[in-house]
A and B are shown apart, each in its own frame.
Chain A
Amino acid sequence: MNERPKILTFKMPAEASPLGYRQKPARPLLEVDRLRKTFPHAGPKATLAAVERVSLSLGEGELMALLGPSGCGKTTTLRMIGGFETPDEGRITLAGRDITHLPPEARGIGFVFQDYALFPHLDVLENVRFGLRHMPRAQAEARAGEMLALVGLQGLERRRPHQLSGGQQQRVALARSLAVAPRVILLDEPFSNLDAKMRVETRQEVRKLLKSTGAAGILVTHDQEEALALADRIAVMEGGRVVQIGTPDEIYRNPATEFVANFIGRSNILSGTASGMEAKTAFGNLPLSRAANGAVSLAVRPEQILLEPDPAGTASIVGREFRGHDQIYWVQEGERCMIVISGPGAQHPIGSRVRLRICDCVVPLT
């Protein structure tokens, strides 16, 4: 990195994360330091920065989700870690060793592809045994058999990939990657080819499997629900940058930006003037989740707002969606439309007048 021109080097202390939410794991296994990658785009001069100074660190046995909308650079980041793309700048270290310029086969990092990429000319057992070629054959077969048992596919050893269901193919791909005991395994949208029901069932299984083998994992997904349910920590990406890293709880409770506040769950955005732990808003003075000063945008989760029927209220109900365990109301107040989630009991007909009350501390955004 030293040969980079100085002006480009925006030095950030390694410990301090962009927004202070990053927990430094006790023993970082994999460290990604300010990766940058551009792709030529529409003509030789215009380039599109796919990944812009992405830094991550992954602890031993930790499962992290790279979450973002399509085109945010999450898959490119994953492919750089796997060795399938070369970063323009930045460094990747695995257990203290610089692997930035190693070919994929020398990294010891597993990769599960979106399409599973099973070898069509080999049967299930041969697929799983594929990476164990330096082992004596009998030993490799035993190991492959163990892995198949682990993913619950005993008895299918002699099937060909095309004779398996999508879920089975995915488990074979996972067994194949885990068989070589990688320290890190990368999963690129591993559930996107499964139907909705399978997806929910499979993701806890995959989590258990990874935890039982002790492999650390990075999972790329655009599905916030999947990331929240599966990962120990989530790195939210937008436009090639990591905008926030944290546990699912932190990310949900304390979104750093408006993008995060609306990409993970939904939020109402208010403007206000903050001073310290309080902000002045249209809803009166509200407590803040963290200190801020000056004009700020504030995120309010829909479930943090209470609806009270009030014939003299300034707000009126304009839409309602009943969802069983709760219901969503769209409430118009002046210029602003707010989204509110209430318990299933409350009854506010469309058109009725209500009063809004914010009953929790709100999040100042940057």
Chain B
Amino acid sequence: MLLPLAYLLLRAFEADPATVRDLLLRPRTGRLLVNTTALTAGVLAFSTVIALPLAWLTTRTDLRFARTVNILVVLPLAVPGYVMAFALIGLSGHSGFLNQVFGIALPRPYGWLGATLALTLYTFPYLYLNLRAALSGFDPSLEEAARALGCSRRQAFFRVTLPHLLPALLAGWLVIGLYTIGDFGAVALMRYEVFSYAIYIQYSAAFDRLYASWLALILIAIALSVVWWESRLREGRRYARTGSGTTSGPERLRLGPLGQALGLGFVALVVLASLGLPVAVLAFWMTRAGTIMPALPDLLRAFGDSLSVAAPAAVLAAAMALPIAALAVRYPSRLSDLVNRLAFVGYAVPPVAFALAFVFFTLQGARFLYQTHFLLVLVFALSFLALALGPIRSALYLARPSIEESARALGYGPFATFWHVTLPTIRPGVIAGMVLVFVIAMKELPITFMLAPAGFRPLAITMFSRTSEGMLLDAAPYAAAIMVFSALFVGFVLRHDRKAGDG
């Protein structure tokens, strides 16, 4: 994993200092920096404004239909950023949904606003899930203690509850921030120039590999500094419950009719924008297309292409994650810690930069791998290793070591024990890890763009290129296929989540 990144550095420092200075001091670099920062800040702010009230409503009030709401506001995860962008574009403009159906022609929201909206609408569930978990795991007796010490309910929320939510906020912001910095599809469709988009353009259109590699390095530096800041801010803020005993559910605020209406109205607005919008726009374009029959063979071929990479990548990622997780959980050491951090680096490095590093690496060091199917699978697996690692590691933490020791005492060797006892007990975690990698690989754009073998056109690529060429009609079936597929995945994860909660 580090080797390709080293090649990226090598490549960047080949040039003489003067050229590099010229490159870096280009006004364009500054503009990219400003744009990337503005986009990230916008997405973080908007998603907090959406996610915090939602989490509070579903955990701390008696909002009606809270269970349904809980599922509905997580489902936008299934909508890839570029599909969201597609929906926003397809909604507006002269030939758009609104003009055709209601006769309202909105300008197409290209640029900062469009990119921010598209990214916010599909990333806010990450923050919501974090906040929700923190709020429902929060010991209500702390809030009660604050009330007993003379705080009003509102004061207690701001002085006690909110500070406790900070770790969850930071964790959510980290995920969303990394997504935003690394996102390629939505910003490209919205024609908003940020680093990842510019790198791709430099690489594919301008063939300016030197500038591309420098931009990639800056992007990686930004991503890593985000990770660093997050861990700095979180340090010393691990709030664990000090008392023992189970917590009773927190007291829920009773909402009056007006409160219920306002709360549900807010939920409806969010769901309409994040879920109703893409579904409606896709449905509109699908009906305009009449029948999807002519596109079917092409659709199936694209689906097959997607599958042929995503499935092996998922298996490979899980296979790599298993020993790493086992090492980290059962034999914690500096080394296992380091390996875990490395896996996370692969995830934090924006995909465009990661792919670029592999391009340089294979071109210079392993030519026979360049643009092979195998390389694509490998890069996916490495890039998304952290996703597979998470659930597998938590499953291992839950599996008691005494179970493995029992098997040893009954005559099973270490490997037989792993196969017959450990693996079956952590199977749900392994499956969840594989599903996560599988689906993100199905949706992935930039890595595929830069590393795919010639003629390889999976769902995401086909959909993206048709949209960017303005052929919304042709893109719709592909977008729909990805969405349906992703929705199945989110459903699976939610079900898995609930099961784990029951256990």
Interface residues of A (CB under 8 A from B): 82-84, 103-111, 113-115, 117-122, 130-131, 133, 173, 176-177, 180
CB closest chain-B residue, reference A104: B408
| A120-B425, A121-B424 known; A105+B409 contact, CB < 8 A | yes
| A105-B408, A111-B405 known; A117+B413 contact, CB < 8 A | no
User: Are the CB atoms of B424 and A113 closer together than 8 Å?
Assistant: no
Complex Cα spacing A122 to B427, Å: 13
Q: List 13 A-B contacts (CB under 8 A).
A: A103-B414, A105-B417, A107-B409, A115-B402, A117-B403, A117-B405, A118-B403, A121-B425, A122-B424, A130-B420, A131-B410, A180-B410, A180-B411
CB closest chain-A residue, reference B412: A105
In-complex Cβ contact of B402 among A110, A113, A133 (8 A): A113
CB closest chain-B residue, reference A173: B406
Q: Which chain B positions have C-beta within 8 A of A180?
A: 410-411
User: Are the CB atoms of A83 and B408 closer together than 8 Å?
Assistant: yes
The smallest beta-carbon distance between A32 and chain B, in angstroms, is 17
Is the C-beta of B153 less than 8 angstroms from some C-beta in chain A? no
The smallest beta-carbon distance between A86 and chain B, in angstroms, is 13
Q: Which chain B positions have C-beta within 8 A of A121?
A: 424-425, 427
| A115-B400, A115-B402 known; A105+B411 contact, CB < 8 A | yes
Complex Cα spacing A173 to B427, Å: 23
User: Are the CB atoms of A117 and B406 closer together than 8 Å?
Assistant: yes
The smallest beta-carbon distance between B244 and chain A, in angstroms, is 17
Is the C-beta of B407 less than 8 angstroms from some C-beta in chain A? yes
A sample of 7 more A-B contacts (CB under 8 A), given A120-B425, A130-B420, is A82-B409, A104-B408, A106-B411, A115-B400, A118-B403, A119-B425, A122-B424
The smallest beta-carbon distance between A83 and chain B, in angstroms, is 7
The smallest beta-carbon distance between A241 and chain B, in angstroms, is 25
CB closest chain-B residue, reference A186: B409
The smallest beta-carbon distance between B425 and chain A, in angstroms, is 6
| A115-B400, A130-B410, A180-B410 known; A104+B425 contact, CB < 8 A | no
User: Are the CB atoms of B402 and A109 closer together than 8 Å?
Assistant: no
Q: Which chain A positions have C-beta within 8 A of B409?
A: 82-83, 104-105, 107, 109-111, 177
Complex Cα spacing A103 to B407, Å: 12
Is the C-beta of B421 less than 8 angstroms from some C-beta in chain A? yes
| A120-B425, A121-B424 known; A103+B408 contact, CB < 8 A | yes
Size band of the B side of the interface? 10 to 19
The smallest beta-carbon distance between A330 and chain B, in angstroms, is 33
Complex Cα spacing A167 to B98, Å: 67
Complex Cα spacing A147 to B318, Å: 39
Complex Cα spacing A110 to B405, Å: 10
- Residue among A111, A117, A122, A173 with the highest chain B CB neighbour number at 10 A: A117
Q: Which chain B positions have C-beta within 8 A of A103?
A: 408, 413-414
Q: Which chain B positions have C-beta within 8 A of A173?
A: 406
CB closest chain-B residue, reference A108: B411
In-complex Cβ contact of B403 among A104, A109, A119 (8 A): A119
Interface residues of B (CB under 8 A from A): 400, 402-403, 405-414, 417, 420-421, 424-425, 427
User: Are the CB atoms of A113 and B408 closer together than 8 Å?
Assistant: no
Q: Which chain B positions have C-beta within 8 A of A82?
A: 405, 409
SS class, residues of chain B in contact with chain A: helix
CB closest chain-B residue, reference A134: B411
Q: Which chain A positions have C-beta within 8 A of B403?
A: 117-120
Q: Which chain A positions have C-beta within 8 A of B427?
A: 121
| A119-B421, A121-B424 known; A113+B413 contact, CB < 8 A | no
The smallest beta-carbon distance between B162 and chain A, in angstroms, is 36
Q: Which chain A positions have C-beta within 8 A of B400?
A: 115, 117
| A117-B403, A119-B425, A121-B425 known; A84+B408 contact, CB < 8 A | yes
The smallest beta-carbon distance between B429 and chain A, in angstroms, is 13
Complex Cα spacing A119 to B405, Å: 11
Sort A-B residue pairs by CB-CB distance and give the 4 closest, nearest first: A131-B410, A117-B402, A104-B408, A111-B409
Complex Cα spacing A338 to B405, Å: 47
Complex Cα spacing A290 to B496, Å: 68
Q: Which chain A positions have C-beta within 8 A of B408?
A: 83-84, 103-105
Q: Which chain A positions have C-beta within 8 A of B425?
A: 119-121
User: Are the CB atoms of A113 and B405 closer together than 8 Å?
Assistant: yes
The smallest beta-carbon distance between A40 and chain B, in angstroms, is 12
Q: Which chain A positions have C-beta within 8 A of B414?
A: 103
CB closest chain-B residue, reference A115: B402
The smallest beta-carbon distance between A198 and chain B, in angstroms, is 21
Q: Which chain B positions have C-beta within 8 A of A114?
A: 402
Complex Cα spacing A83 to B417, Å: 15
Q: Which chain A positions have C-beta within 8 A of B410?
A: 105, 110, 130-131, 176-177, 180
Q: Which chain A positions have C-beta within 8 A of B402?
A: 113-115, 117
The smallest beta-carbon distance between A361 and chain B, in angstroms, is 45
CB closest chain-B residue, reference A120: B425
Complex Cα spacing A246 to B406, Å: 30
Q: Which chain A positions have C-beta within 8 A of B406?
A: 111, 113, 117, 119, 173, 176
The smallest beta-carbon distance between B427 and chain A, in angstroms, is 8
User: Are the CB atoms of A84 and B405 closer together than 8 Å?
Assistant: yes
The smallest beta-carbon distance between A279 and chain B, in angstroms, is 48
Complex Cα spacing A108 to B417, Å: 16
- Residue among B407, B411, B413, B425 with the highest chain A CB neighbour number at 10 A: B411
The smallest beta-carbon distance between A55 and chain B, in angstroms, is 23
CB closest chain-A residue, reference B427: A121
The smallest beta-carbon distance between A74 and chain B, in angstroms, is 16
The smallest beta-carbon distance between B157 and chain A, in angstroms, is 38
Complex Cα spacing A104 to B420, Å: 16
- Residue among B409, B411, B420 with the highest chain A CB neighbour number at 10 A: B409
Q: Which chain B positions have C-beta within 8 A of A106?
A: 411
In-complex Cβ contact of A131 among B405, B411, B413, B424 (8 A): B411
Complex Cα spacing A103 to B424, Å: 23
User: Are the CB atoms of A130 and B407 closer together than 8 Å?
Assistant: yes
The smallest beta-carbon distance between A126 and chain B, in angstroms, is 11
Q: Which chain B positions have C-beta within 8 A of A176?
A: 406, 410
The smallest beta-carbon distance between A62 and chain B, in angstroms, is 20
Complex Cα spacing A2 to B424, Å: 45
Complex Cα spacing A114 to B405, Å: 12
Complex Cα spacing A120 to B400, Å: 11
The smallest beta-carbon distance between A79 and chain B, in angstroms, is 8
CB closest chain-B residue, reference A121: B424
Q: Which chain A positions have C-beta within 8 A of B420?
A: 130
CB closest chain-B residue, reference A109: B409
CB closest chain-B residue, reference A162: B503
